[in-house]
Chain A
Amino acid sequence: MEVFDIAMNTWTPLLLEGNGLPYRIPIHPNLVHLTLGLFIVAIAFDIVAALYPLEKPIFKFLAIPVTSAGLYDVGWFNMVAAAVVTFFTVAAGFYEILLADPPDDIISPWGLNATDTMVWHGIGGVLLLALIVGMTVWRGFQRYLWREDRARQVQWSYLGSGLLIFGLMFAQGTLGAHLGGDFGVHVTADRLIWAGISPNEIDKGPADEVLTKSPTIGSREKGPQD
């Protein structure tokens, strides 16, 4: 029993951050910046590269030297980076879902409760990871095997698939926005409000408490016991 108590004592403070996580800022939403930014820009640059003949006069007017090979490099490197990062994005997402403590009395603008939103967001995450990895492999084959000596390094079907995945990402992102913005999952202020505490108390530590209290003057017994 004592062992259990010690274990509890070492673990509870870890989860005592106001957001229900053992750290102050959720990690998943930050990795999401990287996944989405890298993937969307990868597809965008492949589109710009594929349409390069049309854009030539614009780049010339801007006095920016451009080679379509350079634009395709962005399409490839960014896609590889998106695939690598997204494993961590999904892993962090599942960890933070496991620690979520969502309210059960709120319905999202899409008519889902918090648990359903989390389940769909979790499924969407795994699906998107698979699609991003698949797109990376497809892109690699086009770059190094199938279209190595072609002027246009990517197939139109690849670019079309990328645009369809943008649509899935929009839906996935909106579900994520509902989890933070509507259900307040891992949002410190929302959790404090529901607990009846003002979020203005967030940054107040023990020192603030001592400073705002009037000092107590009394006998030695009121002091530290040891």
Chain B
Amino acid sequence: MFENLLPPLNNHNLPYPDTIHPIVVHFVIAMVLFAVVCDAIGYFTKNSRLHEAGWWNMVFATISIFIAIVFGQVEAGLAMPYAAATGDLNLHTLIGWSLSGILAAITGWRYIIRLKSPGKLPAAYIGMNAVLTVIVLFQVYLGDRLVWVYGLHTEAVVEAARSGLLK
């Protein structure tokens, strides 16, 4: 019933001009990584201003990741992944959803730390930041492979998949 309300799919197999997920993830990748940098420098220099910047960047990242997942699911559903690309797409989806939980939990933890001991961070939180950085970087790597190696939603791949040449 709703499919007729959407614009027809273009040559990227999308109902809008270009992919949106890679744009929304700017705000997860950049904000998480910068929050980790701010927290680390703030931890060693005892600079509470940097801790404040770290906290707000994490808040922004946590809101953004849910929007990123919505567009990610829409674009994964329209991606027509071929055999070689499916493994990475599935893993990217699994880690993406997990990361929303992980980010929300860490930001919730951060909210409590900020209420109870403003301007101070426990070492365990810095350690958690390191783990988070590794997961985010791996997720970025997988997303990069989907776009730049497998070319999902690029004109050439969409054309090949539509004509049945690429499965």
Interface residues of A (CB under 8 A from B): 18-19, 24-26, 29-30, 32-34, 36-38, 40-41, 44-45, 64-65, 70-71, 73-74, 77-78, 81, 106, 109, 173-174, 177, 180-182, 184, 186-190, 193-194, 198-203
Contact = CB atoms under 8 A, between A and B. Distances in A.
A173 B24 CA distance: 12
Taking each of A181, A193, A199, which has the highest tally of chain B beta carbons within 10 Å of its own beta carbon?
Answer: A181
Contacts of A194: 156
B141 to A, nearest CB: 7
A187 B49 contact: no
Interface string B35-52: 001100000000001101
Given A184-B156, A193-B156, A64 B111 contact: yes
B12 interface: yes
Contact of B144 (A25, A38, A109, A199): A25
What DSSP secondary structure best describes chain A's contact surface? helix
How many interface residues does chain B have, given as a range?
35 or more
Contact of B26 (A19, A40, A70): A40
Contacts of B52: 70, 73-74
A174 B52 CA distance: 33
B79 interface: no
A41 B155 contact: no
A54 B125 CA distance: 33
B93 interface: no
B149 interface: yes
A70 B56 contact: yes
B27 A199 contact: no
